[in-house]
Protein backbone atom coordinates (compact mmCIF):
# COMPACT_ATOMS: atom_id res chain seq x y z
CA UNK A 1 0.00 0.00 0.00
CA UNK A 2 1.28 3.46 -0.90
CA UNK A 3 2.05 6.11 1.71
CA UNK A 4 1.91 9.01 -0.76
CA UNK A 5 0.25 9.85 -4.07
CA UNK A 6 1.96 12.25 -6.46
CA UNK A 7 -0.39 14.19 -8.72
CA UNK A 8 0.99 15.56 -11.98
CA UNK A 9 -0.31 18.87 -13.29
CA UNK A 10 0.48 21.64 -15.72
CA UNK A 11 1.52 24.87 -14.04
CA UNK A 12 -1.26 27.23 -15.11
CA UNK A 13 -3.59 28.65 -12.51
CA UNK A 14 -6.50 26.66 -13.95
CA UNK A 15 -4.56 23.40 -14.13
CA UNK A 16 -3.42 23.82 -10.52
CA UNK A 17 -7.00 24.56 -9.43
CA UNK A 18 -8.05 21.29 -11.05
CA UNK A 19 -5.18 19.30 -9.54
CA UNK A 20 -5.76 20.71 -6.06
CA UNK A 21 -9.49 20.04 -6.38
CA UNK A 22 -8.72 16.37 -7.02
CA UNK A 23 -6.13 16.39 -4.22
CA UNK A 24 -8.78 17.64 -1.78
CA UNK A 25 -11.26 15.00 -2.94
CA UNK A 26 -8.69 12.24 -2.47
CA UNK A 27 -7.83 13.55 1.01
CA UNK A 28 -11.52 13.29 1.91
CA UNK A 29 -11.52 9.67 0.77
CA UNK A 30 -8.22 8.77 2.46
CA UNK A 31 -7.17 11.29 5.15
CA UNK A 32 -4.29 8.99 6.11
CA UNK A 33 -2.75 9.12 2.63
CA UNK A 34 -0.33 11.97 1.86
CA UNK A 35 -0.78 13.69 -1.50
CA UNK A 36 1.21 16.34 -3.33
CA UNK A 37 1.08 18.11 -6.68
CA UNK A 38 4.11 18.15 -9.00
CA UNK A 39 4.15 20.71 -11.84
CA UNK A 40 5.19 19.41 -15.25
CA UNK A 41 5.66 21.69 -18.26
CA UNK A 42 4.08 20.49 -21.51
CA UNK A 43 4.77 21.40 -25.13
CA UNK A 44 1.64 23.52 -25.20
CA UNK A 45 2.87 25.53 -22.22
CA UNK A 46 6.33 26.38 -23.52
CA UNK A 47 5.51 27.14 -27.17
CA UNK A 48 3.56 30.22 -28.18
CA UNK A 49 2.78 29.18 -31.76
CA UNK A 50 -0.87 28.67 -32.75
CA UNK A 51 -2.00 25.23 -31.61
CA UNK A 52 -2.87 24.30 -35.18
CA UNK A 53 0.83 24.73 -36.09
CA UNK A 54 2.22 22.87 -33.07
CA UNK A 55 0.05 19.84 -33.83
CA UNK A 56 -2.81 19.77 -31.38
CA UNK A 57 -2.78 16.08 -30.43
CA UNK A 58 -1.38 15.71 -26.93
CA UNK A 59 0.42 19.07 -26.71
CA UNK A 60 -0.95 19.58 -23.18
CA UNK A 61 -0.69 15.94 -22.07
CA UNK A 62 2.36 14.20 -23.60
CA UNK A 63 4.88 15.13 -20.90
CA UNK A 64 2.41 14.27 -18.13
CA UNK A 65 1.90 10.85 -19.67
CA UNK A 66 5.65 10.32 -19.97
CA UNK A 67 6.01 11.08 -16.26
CA UNK A 68 3.30 8.55 -15.48
CA UNK A 69 5.00 5.86 -17.55
CA UNK A 70 8.33 6.56 -15.80
CA UNK A 71 6.70 6.26 -12.37
CA UNK A 72 7.52 9.86 -11.45
CA UNK A 73 3.85 10.62 -10.70
CA UNK A 74 0.92 8.38 -9.79
CA UNK A 75 -1.89 10.24 -11.54
CA UNK A 76 -2.31 13.12 -13.96
CA UNK A 77 -5.22 15.53 -13.91
CA UNK A 78 -6.31 16.80 -17.33
CA UNK A 79 -8.99 18.95 -18.84
CA UNK A 80 -10.62 16.03 -20.62
CA UNK A 81 -10.95 18.02 -23.85
CA UNK A 82 -7.11 18.09 -24.08
CA UNK A 83 -6.69 14.32 -23.66
CA UNK A 84 -6.35 12.34 -26.91
CA UNK A 85 -8.93 9.60 -27.42
CA UNK A 86 -6.24 6.96 -27.91
CA UNK A 87 -3.98 6.65 -24.87
CA UNK A 88 -0.44 5.25 -24.72
CA UNK A 89 -0.17 1.57 -23.87
CA UNK A 90 -0.15 0.94 -20.11
CA UNK A 91 -2.16 4.10 -19.27
CA UNK A 92 -5.88 4.41 -18.53
CA UNK A 93 -8.51 6.98 -17.60
CA UNK A 94 -9.30 6.01 -14.02
CA UNK A 95 -12.05 8.59 -13.45
CA UNK A 96 -14.05 11.32 -15.14
CA UNK A 97 -15.27 13.90 -12.63
CA UNK A 98 -18.57 15.76 -12.60
CA UNK A 99 -18.82 18.20 -15.45
CA UNK A 100 -18.90 21.97 -15.07
CA UNK A 101 -20.91 23.98 -17.63
CA UNK A 102 -19.72 22.65 -21.03
CA UNK A 103 -20.67 25.74 -23.03
CA UNK A 104 -18.38 28.34 -24.50
CA UNK A 105 -18.65 31.91 -23.22
CA UNK A 106 -18.28 35.33 -24.83
CA UNK A 107 -16.16 37.84 -22.93
CA UNK A 108 -16.05 41.57 -23.66
CA UNK A 109 -13.46 44.13 -22.47
CA UNK A 110 -13.89 45.10 -18.83
CA UNK A 111 -14.94 48.65 -19.73
CA UNK A 112 -17.36 47.66 -22.52
CA UNK A 113 -20.83 49.15 -22.42
CA UNK A 114 -22.27 46.69 -24.92
CA UNK A 115 -25.04 44.32 -23.89
CA UNK A 116 -24.65 41.18 -25.98
CA UNK A 117 -26.66 37.98 -25.54
CA UNK A 118 -25.63 36.17 -28.73
CA UNK A 119 -22.79 35.99 -31.24
CA UNK A 120 -25.20 37.48 -33.75
CA UNK A 121 -25.21 40.69 -31.67
CA UNK A 122 -21.44 41.30 -32.00
CA UNK A 123 -20.55 44.63 -33.64
CA UNK A 124 -19.85 44.60 -37.40
CA UNK A 125 -16.26 43.58 -38.26
CA UNK A 126 -15.54 42.68 -34.63
CA UNK A 127 -12.11 41.19 -33.83
CA UNK A 128 -12.65 37.98 -31.87
CA UNK A 129 -9.86 36.08 -30.13
CA UNK A 130 -9.75 32.28 -30.06
CA UNK A 131 -7.13 29.59 -30.67
CA UNK A 132 -9.71 26.88 -31.45
CA UNK A 133 -10.39 25.80 -35.04
CA UNK A 134 -13.69 24.37 -33.81
CA UNK A 135 -14.82 27.78 -32.60
CA UNK A 136 -13.47 29.56 -35.69
CA UNK A 137 -15.45 27.36 -38.08
CA UNK A 138 -18.74 27.70 -36.20
CA UNK A 139 -18.31 31.43 -35.61
CA UNK A 140 -17.55 32.03 -39.30
CA UNK A 141 -20.71 30.13 -40.24
CA UNK A 142 -22.74 32.60 -38.15
CA UNK A 143 -20.77 35.82 -38.73
CA UNK A 144 -18.64 35.84 -41.86
CA UNK A 145 -17.77 39.51 -41.29
CA UNK A 146 -15.83 39.04 -38.05
CA UNK A 147 -12.04 38.90 -37.95
CA UNK A 148 -10.58 35.94 -36.06
CA UNK A 149 -7.30 36.59 -34.26
CA UNK A 150 -5.34 33.83 -32.56
CA UNK A 151 -4.88 34.15 -28.79
CA UNK A 152 -2.58 32.08 -26.59
CA UNK A 153 -1.61 32.14 -22.93
CA UNK A 154 -3.38 31.39 -19.68
CA UNK A 155 -6.79 32.86 -18.87
CA UNK A 156 -5.37 35.91 -17.07
CA UNK A 157 -3.08 36.70 -20.01
CA UNK A 158 -5.93 36.41 -22.48
CA UNK A 159 -8.16 38.69 -20.42
CA UNK A 160 -5.36 41.26 -20.11
CA UNK A 161 -4.90 41.30 -23.89
CA UNK A 162 -8.65 41.75 -24.30
CA UNK A 163 -8.79 44.63 -21.82
CA UNK A 164 -5.78 46.30 -23.51
CA UNK A 165 -7.82 46.54 -26.71
CA UNK A 166 -6.15 43.81 -28.78
CA UNK A 167 -9.54 42.17 -29.29
CA UNK A 168 -13.19 43.23 -29.26
CA UNK A 169 -14.20 39.92 -27.67
CA UNK A 170 -12.86 36.53 -26.61
CA UNK A 171 -14.43 33.09 -26.69
CA UNK A 172 -13.35 30.88 -23.78
CA UNK A 173 -14.70 27.80 -22.06
CA UNK A 174 -17.21 28.79 -19.38
CA UNK A 175 -15.95 26.01 -17.11
CA UNK A 176 -12.46 27.47 -16.76
CA UNK A 177 -13.76 30.93 -15.94
CA UNK A 178 -16.13 29.52 -13.33
CA UNK A 179 -13.42 27.44 -11.67
CA UNK A 180 -11.12 30.46 -11.46
CA UNK A 181 -13.79 32.65 -9.86
CA UNK A 182 -14.10 34.76 -13.01
CA UNK A 183 -17.73 34.06 -13.77
CA UNK A 184 -18.38 37.81 -13.56
CA UNK A 185 -16.34 38.31 -16.76
CA UNK A 186 -18.79 36.25 -18.83
CA UNK A 187 -20.84 38.60 -21.01
CA UNK A 188 -23.04 35.79 -22.28
CA UNK A 189 -23.08 32.03 -22.47
CA UNK A 190 -22.99 30.81 -26.06
CA UNK A 191 -25.85 28.48 -26.84
CA UNK A 192 -24.88 25.01 -28.08
CA UNK A 193 -27.15 25.82 -31.03
CA UNK A 194 -24.61 28.50 -32.03
CA UNK A 195 -21.36 26.77 -31.07
CA UNK A 196 -21.22 23.11 -30.14
CA UNK A 197 -18.55 22.49 -27.44
CA UNK A 198 -15.34 20.51 -27.68
CA UNK A 199 -15.39 16.82 -26.88
CA UNK A 200 -15.22 16.44 -23.09
CA UNK A 201 -15.36 20.19 -22.45
CA UNK A 202 -15.96 21.06 -18.79
CA UNK A 203 -14.99 17.60 -17.48
CA UNK A 204 -11.81 16.48 -15.71
CA UNK A 205 -10.07 13.28 -16.72
CA UNK A 206 -7.76 11.52 -14.27
CA UNK A 207 -5.16 9.28 -15.87
CA UNK A 208 -3.16 6.54 -14.13
CA UNK A 209 -1.01 3.57 -15.02
CA UNK A 210 -3.26 0.74 -16.12
CA UNK A 211 -1.59 -1.77 -13.78
CA UNK A 212 -1.62 0.50 -10.71
CA UNK A 213 -4.65 -1.13 -9.13
CA UNK A 214 -4.46 0.78 -5.84
CA UNK A 215 -4.49 4.21 -7.48
CA UNK A 216 -7.06 3.23 -10.11
CA UNK A 217 -9.51 1.94 -7.51
CA UNK A 218 -9.07 4.95 -5.24
CA UNK A 219 -9.35 7.50 -8.03
CA UNK A 220 -12.25 5.58 -9.56
CA UNK A 221 -14.41 6.65 -6.63
CA UNK A 222 -14.36 10.20 -8.03
CA UNK A 223 -16.18 9.17 -11.20
CA UNK A 224 -19.48 10.92 -11.92
CA UNK A 225 -21.36 8.31 -13.92
CA UNK A 226 -23.64 10.61 -16.00
CA UNK A 227 -20.64 12.74 -16.99
CA UNK A 228 -18.61 9.62 -17.75
CA UNK A 229 -21.29 8.21 -20.07
CA UNK A 230 -21.72 11.53 -21.88
CA UNK A 231 -17.97 11.88 -22.37
CA UNK A 232 -17.54 8.27 -23.46
CA UNK A 233 -20.04 8.93 -26.25
CA UNK A 234 -18.33 12.17 -27.28
CA UNK A 235 -14.84 10.65 -27.22
CA UNK A 236 -16.03 7.62 -29.19
CA UNK A 237 -17.38 9.94 -31.88
CA UNK A 238 -14.05 11.78 -32.12
CA UNK A 239 -12.03 8.56 -32.09
CA UNK A 240 -14.13 6.96 -34.84
CA UNK A 241 -13.85 10.06 -37.00
CA UNK A 242 -10.08 9.91 -36.56
CA UNK A 243 -9.90 13.49 -35.37
CA UNK A 244 -7.82 15.34 -32.81
CA UNK A 245 -8.70 18.06 -30.33
CA UNK A 246 -7.65 20.86 -32.72
CA UNK A 247 -9.75 19.86 -35.74
CA UNK A 248 -13.19 21.45 -36.29
CA UNK A 249 -15.02 18.55 -34.66
CA UNK A 250 -17.49 19.19 -31.85
CA UNK A 251 -19.81 17.10 -29.72
CA UNK A 252 -22.17 17.41 -26.81
CA UNK A 253 -23.96 14.58 -25.03
CA UNK A 254 -26.59 14.75 -22.30
CA UNK A 255 -28.56 12.19 -20.34
CA UNK A 256 -32.28 12.81 -20.78
CA UNK A 257 -34.19 10.31 -18.64
CA UNK A 258 -33.60 6.85 -20.14
CA UNK A 259 -31.85 8.28 -23.19
CA UNK A 260 -28.41 9.59 -24.00
CA UNK A 261 -28.65 12.34 -26.62
CA UNK A 262 -25.48 12.98 -28.62
CA UNK A 263 -24.95 15.82 -31.08
CA UNK A 264 -21.93 15.89 -33.33
CA UNK A 265 -20.45 18.32 -35.84
CA UNK A 266 -17.71 18.37 -38.46
CA UNK A 267 -16.85 21.61 -40.24
CA UNK A 268 -14.63 23.19 -42.85
CA UNK A 269 -12.21 25.58 -41.08
CA UNK A 270 -13.78 28.61 -42.77
CA UNK A 271 -17.32 27.53 -41.82
CA UNK A 272 -18.34 27.18 -45.47
CA UNK A 273 -19.63 23.66 -44.88
CA UNK A 274 -20.90 22.18 -41.63
CA UNK A 275 -22.29 18.71 -41.00
CA UNK A 276 -24.33 18.40 -37.82
CA UNK A 277 -26.36 15.39 -36.69
CA UNK A 278 -27.95 13.98 -33.54
CA UNK A 279 -28.50 10.45 -32.25
CA UNK A 280 -30.04 9.02 -29.09
CA UNK A 281 -30.22 5.69 -27.33
CA UNK A 282 -29.54 3.72 -24.16
CA UNK A 283 -26.79 5.41 -22.06
CA UNK A 284 -25.26 1.96 -21.52
CA UNK A 285 -24.45 2.01 -25.25
CA UNK A 286 -22.57 5.31 -25.01
CA UNK A 287 -19.51 4.28 -27.01
CA UNK A 288 -21.63 2.52 -29.64
CA UNK A 289 -23.72 5.66 -30.04
CA UNK A 290 -20.56 7.66 -30.65
CA UNK A 291 -19.46 5.16 -33.28
CA UNK A 292 -22.90 5.18 -34.93
CA UNK A 293 -22.97 8.97 -35.11
CA UNK A 294 -19.47 8.98 -36.60
CA UNK A 295 -20.69 6.58 -39.29
CA UNK A 296 -23.70 8.80 -39.99
CA UNK A 297 -21.47 11.86 -40.40
CA UNK A 298 -19.04 9.87 -42.54
CA UNK A 299 -21.82 8.86 -44.92
CA UNK A 300 -22.64 12.56 -45.28
CA UNK A 301 -19.06 13.44 -46.20
CA UNK A 302 -17.20 14.05 -42.94
CA UNK A 303 -13.99 12.37 -44.10
CA UNK A 304 -13.78 14.49 -47.24
CA UNK A 305 -13.93 17.57 -44.99
CA UNK A 306 -11.33 16.28 -42.54
CA UNK A 307 -8.90 15.23 -45.29
CA UNK A 308 -8.69 18.83 -46.50
CA UNK A 309 -7.21 19.94 -43.14
Which residues belong to the active site?
82
Beta pairing partners, 37: 7
Please say whether the beta carbons of 45 and 63 come within 8 A: no
Cα separation, 244 vs 44, whole angstroms: 15
**Pairing outcome for strands 127-129 and 34-39:** unpaired
Strand partners, 128: 148, 169
Compute φ and ψ for 249, nearest 5 degrees: -120, 135
Alpha helices in the chain (DSSP H): 13-29, 43-46, 51-54, 62-69, 133-142, 155-163, 174-179, 213-220, 225-241, 286-299, 302-306
Burial class, 10, CB count within 10 angstroms (exposed 0-12 / middle 13-18 / buried 19+): buried
Amino acid sequence: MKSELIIGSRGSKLALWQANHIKARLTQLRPDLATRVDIIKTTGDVRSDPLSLIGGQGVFTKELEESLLKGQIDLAVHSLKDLPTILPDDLAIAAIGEREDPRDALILPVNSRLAINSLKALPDQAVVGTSSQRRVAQLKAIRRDVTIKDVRGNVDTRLRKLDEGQYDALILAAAGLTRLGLKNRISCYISTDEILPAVGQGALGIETRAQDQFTRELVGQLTHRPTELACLAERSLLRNLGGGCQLPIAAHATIDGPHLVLEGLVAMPDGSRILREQISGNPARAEELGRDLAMLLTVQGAQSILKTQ
